[in-house]
Amino acid sequence: MTTVNDVVIKIATVNGTGSASANGLLMKSIFRMGVPVVGKNYFPSNIQGLPTWYEIRVTGDGYQSRSDRVDLMVAMNAQTYARDLAEVRPGGWLVYDSTWPRNALLNRDDITVLGVPLSRMCNEHFDGARARILMKNIAYVGAVAALLDIDLNTITKLLEETFASKPKLIGSNMEAIKLGYDYANENFVCPLPSKVAAMQGTKDHIIIDGNTATGLGCMYAGATVAAWYPITPSTSVMDAFRSYCAQYREDEKSGKRTYCIIQAEDELAAIGMVLGASWNGARSFTATSGPGISLMSEFLGYGYYAEVPAVIVNVQRTGPSTGMPTRTQQSDILSCAYASHGDTKHVLLFPSEPGECFTMAQASFDLAERLQTPVMLMSDLDIGMNDWMVPEFEFDENAVPDRGKVLSAEDLEEMDVFHRYLDVDGDGIPYRTLPGIHPTGSYFTRGSGHTKYGGYTEDSDAYQDVVDRLLLKWETARSIVPEPEIHYSKFNKTALVSVGSSDGACKEALDRLGAQDINLNYCRVRAFPFSDAAKEFIEQHDVVYVVEQNRDAQLRTLLMLDCNADPAKIVSILHYDGMPLNAGFVVKRVLEERAKGQAA
């Protein structure tokens, strides 16, 4: 069977051998041909020496999720041959380095094995052990290009752009690509029945990862202070922010930097610095992952009760404890929603791909200042560190940051007295002042019991008055956070609900189910607290499948707590092995649950 622009390539290598450049070259070349593509990197948490895989999904239909099959495996790691061989779909292909003999047991009758002597060719044409290792990876790009009919001119042009400042590298890389390309053409029937063909499916799109998009979004939001402690998989958020600030945040006349980035001694110090900077009027944020959230919890409660705005980017990974730092999950939903002791609730935003990382990063700062509270941007490793094709970013040049209810010196000059925690407008949000603006605006910021006038108290009624107002503010938040994305296939009483990076797999699953005449309505929640629209969506269905990437059904729990959703009709579909969710898993589980319901 011949397929065009519907092929999954998986490349098995060893961490630290330079394969990332080769894999990126291959993926971007396909993108340059106008073909939608998705790149997923599965890598170990050490620096060098362990197995790593990169998966390229060529998808003319533009699906954004990981596939549930492998068509072409490039097996460059002898340690994982058996595992890699087993992953190839029946009728698929496996390419391996045939320089050395291969164990006869590593065979399958239902796939085609293609041996390419990559090491031998590179040993004959290049000098130096390191150069030969690097060029071997580039050579498999050429072999794959021949097998899938990827345009060699596109690869050449991309190489020339990549190494424009190092022209000597262009020649050696192109020589390695030609070695693999020519060998495949001379020894195999090229192209394979599954191939790539130029189309117009990438116009006005870019390839970007979520962490880079988040860093850019924070800069566009007007953030000037960032404090963090390095942790996988969020460190590259700060790397991106620092890079963009160095480019755009320097005073043209004086050359002075107009931003401050601090690598703190730990996550406790980082969130403390962020709260302090925000209290002083700067837009500030930190980036972390689950273990960092655990350490930040007490300060987050302080920010909630003292009503200090802050933005926390949580790029979620597997837990508990250290867990698997380079695998993805959505397992911090509950810990972030109620972070800290006592009665606390935090606003959460859930991007589904890098485009929303860019826009929701900006929205996080507006919401934090408007609501005077910490806001968490809930990304994950799949979004943050993988390559996504998304529409080009747009930004309104006339946009003005929403600083919320901040009194100016002129406002304070006309006031006899200022009460920090007094609800004047009936929306639960008091007015705040910035230090040094005017003597009337001074107040004592405290995380201990306080009255609505800002004074210390241990009086029960005065304390309860403040925490009840915080609940009113929570209801105000419900009305201004991003609305859910909702789609109706047709009138029916069964629906699918998802969150974050589960979106792509769920939408593809809906298409597959629809092809079987199983039509489900769909809702992707984009924020917590859940809006009335999300609550109404659940109420009007008899069965709601909730798809999420954790073991303990955290989104389902949150829906029951915040929406009073009937637990009897909410069915969990849980995926938590650390790999990105795929549509096949969702389809399988929905069919299983439907069968249970019909049997009952």
Nearest to 379 by CA among 481, 513, 526: 526
Q: What is the pLDDT of residue 49?
A: 77
Q: What is the DSSP string of 154-193?
A: HHHHHHHHHTTT-HHHHHHHHHHHHHHHHHHHHHS-SS-S
Domain boundaries, the chain: 3-203, 208-391, 409-480, 485-599
Q: What is the mean pLDDT of the chain?
A: 95
Its pTM stands at 0.96
pLDDT score for 508 = 98
Tens of pLDDT, residue by residue over 103-129, are: 766 789 999 999 999 999 999 999 888
Which pair of tokens denotes residue 104? 């006869």
**Average of per-residue pLDDT across 55-79:** 96
CATH architecture of 485-599: 3-Layer(aba) Sandwich (3.40)
Confidence of residue 153 (pLDDT cuts 50, 70, 90): very high
- 3-203 against 208-391: fold identical: no
Average pLDDT over residues 396-416: 95
What's the Rg (C-alpha) of the chain? 27
- For residue 463, the model assigns a pLDDT of 97
Distance CA 142, CA 68 (A): 25
Tell whether the model's pLDDT for residue 561 goes beyond 80.
yes
Please name the amino acid found at residue 14. Answer: V
Count how many residues are written for the chain.
Answer: 600
Instruction: Give the Cα separation of 19 and 139 in Å (integer).
Output: 11
pLDDT at 600 over 60: no
Is the pLDDT at 491 greater than 80? The verdict is no
Q: Which amino acid is at 368?
A: A
164: confidence class by pLDDT, cuts 50, 70, 90? confident
Nearest to 545 by CA among 592, 491, 484: 592
- Say what percent of the chain tops pLDDT 90: 89
Let me know if domain 3-203 sits in CATH 3.40.920.10.
Answer: yes
208-391 CATH choice from 3.40.47.10, 3.90.79.10, 3.40.50.970, 3.50.50.60? 3.40.50.970
3-state SS assignment for residue 300: helix
Going from the C-alpha of 20 to that of each of 24, 25, 27, 38, 40, the distances in angstroms are 6, 8, 11, 15, 11
Which pLDDT score, from 0 to 100, does residue 41 have?
96
Split at pLDDT 50, 70, 90, the class of 300 is very high
Asked if residues 544 and 538 have their Cβ atoms less than 8 Å apart, the reply is yes
Give the pLDDT confidence score for residue 228 in this predicted structure.
Answer: 97
Q: Which of 135-149, 153-167, 372-386, 536-550 has the lowest mean pLDDT?
A: 153-167
Reported as a single tens digit per residue, the pLDDT across 242-252 is: 999 999 999 88
Contact 210, 385 (CB under 8 A): yes
Nearest by Cα to 87 from 113, 68, 102, 63: 68
